[in-house]
Amino acid sequence: MVDASEVVISHLQRRKIEGRVLIPFIQVLRDRFGQSAMREVVDETIRRLAAEDGARWAATYGKTTASLRTVAQELWAGGGSMDVEVVSESDDHLDFNVTRCQYAAFYKELGLADLGIRVHCNRDHAMLAGFNDELELSRSQTIMEGGACCDFRFRKRSWR
């Protein structure tokens, strides 16, 4: 079920590699064009990449909340990079908390949690749009921002 290209390196290793490339690039963007332009370019780039990831994962795993749980547990948390505690799950919702996050630890070790939020945490909504636009995400806190956990709450949209 897992595409071989997804398991050659862990998801965490992939994000660390991206971070090591993106961070200096982002810093140069900020220095040359200012904070506002940097944020605009980075945010748009991350949204595009995340939506592509979501679409690829949906094609591999399916578009259900159960499939989304599999993505979180097998890809995102693979190799011990996160601790994911499922709180509640049904056909129309998935609630889980991330209680330990090596992605956050990576950016915090570099002293760049603010960039970690921008290039990692901010992916989640765009990823979900690519994965299944009938689902929506709410999250009130992240470990990267100093929260006790990342509280992911996925719901099937109620179209009116």
pLDDT value, residue 83: 97
How does the average pLDDT of the chain come out, rounded? 91
Q: Are 118 and 108 in contact (CB under 8 A)?
A: no
Instruction: From residue 98, give the alpha-carbon distance in Å to each of 33, 86, 133.
Output: 35, 9, 22
In the chain, what percentage of residues exceed pLDDT 70? 94
Instruction: From residue 78, give the alpha-carbon distance in Å to each of 8, 40, 107, 115, 159.
Output: 12, 31, 18, 23, 34
pLDDT value, residue 22: 84
pLDDT band at 6 (very low <50, low <70, confident <90, very high): low
pLDDT band at 21 (very low <50, low <70, confident <90, very high): confident
- The CATH topology of domain 9-156 is Muramoyl-pentapeptide Carboxypeptidase; domain 2 (3.30.1380)
Distance from the Cα of residue 92 to its chain's centroid: 21
